[in-house]
Amino acid sequence: MCGITGYVGYRQADKILFECLKKLEYRGYDSCGIALVTKNGLSIFKDQSRVGDLEKKYVKTKTKATAGIGHTRWATCGEPNATNAHPHSDCSKNIATVHNGTIDNYLELKKALTKKGHKFKTETDTEVFPHLVEEYMKDTDAETAFKKAFAELKGSFAIATVIGGEDKIYIGRINCPLVIGVMDGEYIIASDSTTLLKYTNRFIYLQDGDMGVISKDKVTLFRNGKTVKPKIVSVENKYDDTELHGYPHYMLKEIHEQPRIISSTIDDIEQLTLLINQINKDLGGIKMIRTLSCGSSYYSSLILRYLAPQLLGIPTFAELGSEYCSLTVAPKGSLAIAISQSGETADTIKAAKEAKAYGYKVLAITNVSDSQLSRLSDYTWITKAGPEISVAATKTVMSQAAWMYAFVLANPSLRTLQKKASISSFRKVPELMKQLLEQNDETIEVAKYLKDFEDIIYISRGITYPIALEGALKMKEIAYIHSEGYAAGELKHGPFALLSEDIPVVALVSHDKDYSSLVTNLREIKTRKAPLIVITDEKDIMLENLAEKTIVLPKCDATYVPLLHLVEVQLLAYYTAVERNNPIDFPRNLAKTVTVE
């Protein structure tokens, strides 16, 4: 979940490392640091601070170096402080390592190294690695020592190491992402390709178990004990996509990109039909679907749980990747759909591997090409959300939610007339979203009202219920207000005990088949004196009488109202967080890509 980077070439390394670390802060920002290869060995600069603050302190040193590594931390082993900040070094301070992930057997290695005289200064698992390399270098060269040390590690990790006097970076990965950016006479590494788009769009994606040595002239890559020729992949994303373009925060910018995402999803329905036809052919027809995902991706998958049985007649089950445990062999025609914006989510990857072992065909839905999830899956669909910088997922969730609709519309078992009418309604959604994004007065007013509460309940029914869950999650993530999402009919089965004047209820209302039942639930809430905020696709007298405050969405086909509700709950969380003066793009304790279980 941490972010690592490195550079070797002919330019000043420090400036490039700091620029990359700023782009990587969405992966963690408990502390940060860099290690530079100088004429006199290594120079390490680190602290418990944000990258920008460390850079200001560092500038005074004027250290010259054309090779180095950097790290921004999300603490997993050892509390976040300056001592535990990366890079970590060996006894001689001539070997430095940055690391993303977890080394499961570090205590065992640490004990053995301590007996051999090594002195440790931190609580981290990372520190064992430079000491391990140091130990092996007593009897062999640096490259061999790195390989031997790497082979001893157990867990999930991506590692980069530098050694004093060598303008080289030693790298390796298992179950954590690491990519090499390719330039002329220089190379740059990072935990993701988005970080490197300012410098190049040509990348080498490391596979599990890969190790390598990078100098300014070449990359030497080792796989399964053999040297392999690196495969260079060009990507379509542009550096411009990662800039703010006048928005105060990345989250708001990314919310405003969602109409484009819906349009691109609609445009891809014919291509998606070809993929589904191939899956149907391979499976002899899709007879059952099981989605595997975590967090916001799980909530988006719940949309398919409602749509597929109703419109396609396919039983569909939504599983949390972190809890998934298949107990039986998959029935014939079973499809597992694994959903992860990064394609590197550890729990989802583990669940996808288990599904394959039990006989499922696996379809990966991800926003990142050549990710670990896409490589292990039988089929892959790349959403077109583009780079997402803010830790709180918005446009990537929208791309996943829209894909659930597209999957149904692209399915050949959907009746032709129904498909045409539904696609026609779907095509109207981007323009309705634009209208919603241009009218924020009601949302800001509600945000000002909610900012002083410490607990909020979100409710809805039917296909909009997953959006209530996502709305509660966003309010927790960004505004730091304890929020819970419930199916409205479930309040009577316990949560009613919480209702009071101090806990507002945000109700997502659609004028669909569940409207009457939901209004009954709202009356029940009103009698318990809980403040009621209604977000609805249509204002009516009943809702006006019940609600303390109302947000009205543009009128939309009932099938697609959840997509407008999704935009609105994102905006509500955003503006509430703004009112509370919270750090919008970097919420406390969170990282965007969860690469550890």
Distance CA 7, CA 481 (A): 40
Catalytic residue among 2, 176, 294, 556: 2
319 in Cβ contact with 299 (< 8 Å): no
Long-range Cβ pairs for the range 551-557 (8 Å, 24+): 551/442, 551/443, 551/446, 552/442, 553/432, 553/436, 554/432, 554/435, 554/436, 555/432, 556/425, 556/428, 556/429, 556/432, 557/422, 557/425, 557/428
Q: Is 556 exposed, middle or buried (CB count within 10 Å of its CB: 0-12, 13-18, 19+)?
A: buried
Q: Which residue has the tokens 């597929």?
A: 308
Q: Which listed residue (110, 253, 361, 592) is catalytic?
A: 592
- List Cβ neighbours of 165 (8 Å cut-off, separation of 6 or more): 37, 41, 94
Cis-peptide into 87, omega within 30 deg: yes
The DSSP element (H or E) to which 101 belongs, if any, is strand 95-103
Contact present, 376 and 361 (Cβ < 8 Å):
no
Tokens found for residue 341 = 């914006």
> How far is it, in rounded angstroms, from Cα 284 to Cα 412?
13
* Residue 592 among the catalytic residues: yes
CB 22 within 8 A of CB 51: yes
Token reading at 299: 């909530």
Query: Which tokens in the block code for residue 52?
Result: 């920008």
The set of catalytic residues is 2, 592
